[in-house]
């Protein structure tokens, strides 16, 4: 990977995708403290919560309370995940800066995750996108299960490309490709990038990787080498999808930032502060975190100037 001198944006998803699948119910105050620690570590795009029905995702039932307490300013932008127009109403009222809308690549997973068909999901995205953009919000279209489906298996990259084209036509400002169940490998990343760039050459391309089969970091580095503008990650490596069987956590922000820094790619994140943020949320959850940097420590201990990215 020859990326020295380049940069990539890290979208911190721990407060949303990280916490939504953990067994422990974290208090609103602890969530806000976690977000405050992430801001202190340099995170500037944070997926803070999701505006979904609390019966479907109970861990996100306090979305409005979280948004009311997060620190504002310093260039921080808060993202809310929405799946329907009721969710958008709530997100707008709560003062999010961006919305992330998931459109799923397969019918079975779309029904399990969204409660609607793929076509209905696209129609919903179109309505949400139009309203959100008219309110001045940036809109990300995340194509869920882009790399594989827990119910239908392999996903045709051409089908992902077609979904992306539909989302572009409906007004997406950014495309995110999600390996929701962590099955992808670097060659899959390359195939999907080629497919997406064949239908849109202009929009920023973001990736969401899970480390279920220990390929998430290799996939992330591949995505950066192929021009990704942003990567999702979760401090501590917590999380997963509650509607995907055996889906483990996201790639860990601190481990990802370490790999990128050693590869000459700037993220603007403070690794020591990320480890502290991870320890905070790990203590709230009462678990041993999947992330490894907090256990192994940084290297080298005294960073040379060329590593201070």
CA distance 273 to 279: 10
Q: Other CB atoms closer than 10 Å to residue 96's CB: what's the count? A: 28
CA 140 to chain CA centroid, nearest Å = 11
DSSP lists the bridge partners of residue 10 as 231
DSSP at 267: -
CA distance 228 to 222: 9
What token pair was written down for 220? Answer: 């992330």
Instruction: Tell me if residue 241 is catalytic.
Output: yes
Radius of gyration of the chain (CA): 18
Find where tokens 């990787």 sit.
Answer: 209
Residue among 241, 251, 259, 291 flagged as catalytic: 241
Residue 253 preceded by cis peptide, ω within 30? no
Those residues with Cβ within 8 angstroms of residue 262's Cβ, 6 or more apart along the chain or in another chain: 307
Mind telling me the catalytic residues? Answer: 241
């Amino acid at each position: 990977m020859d990326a020295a001198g380049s940069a990539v944006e890290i979208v911190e998803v721990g407060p949303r995708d990280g916490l939504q699948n953990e067994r422990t119910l974290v208090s609103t105050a602890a969530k806000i403290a976690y977000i405050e620690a992430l801001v202190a570590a340099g995170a500037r795009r944070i997926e803070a919560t999701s505006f979904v029905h609390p019966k479907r995702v109970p861990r996100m039932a306090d979305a409005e309370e979280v948004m009311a307490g997060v620190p504002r300013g310093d260039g921080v932008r808060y993202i809310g995940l929405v799946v329907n127009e009721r969710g958008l109403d709530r997100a707008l009222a709560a003062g999010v800066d961006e919305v992330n809308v998931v459109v799923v690549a397969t019918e079975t997973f779309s029904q399990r995750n969204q409660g609607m068909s793929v076509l209905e999901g696209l129609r919903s995205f179109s309505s949400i996108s139009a309203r959100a953009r008219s309110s001045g919000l940036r809109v990300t279209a995340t194509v869920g299960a882009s790399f594989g489906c827990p119910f239908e298996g392999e996903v045709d990259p051409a089908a992902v490309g077609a979904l992306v084209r539909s989302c572009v036509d409906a007004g997406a400002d950014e495309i995110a490709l999600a390996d929701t169940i962590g099955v992808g490998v670097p060659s899959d990343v390359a195939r999907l990038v080629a497919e997406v760039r064949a239908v849109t050459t202009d929009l920023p391309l973001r990736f969401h990787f899970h480390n279920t089969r220990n390929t998430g970091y290799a996939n992330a580095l591949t995505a950066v080498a192929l021009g990704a503008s942003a990567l999702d990650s979760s401090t501590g490596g917590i999380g997963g999808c509650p509607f995907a069987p055996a889906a483990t956590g996201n790639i860990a922000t601190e481990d990802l930032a370490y790999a990128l820094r050693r590869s000459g790619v700037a993220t603007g994140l403070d690794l020591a502060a990320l480890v502290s943020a991870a320890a905070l949320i790990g203590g709230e959850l009462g678990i041993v975190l999947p992330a490894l940097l907090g256990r192994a420590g940084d290297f080298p201990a005294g960073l040379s100037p060329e590593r201070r990215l």
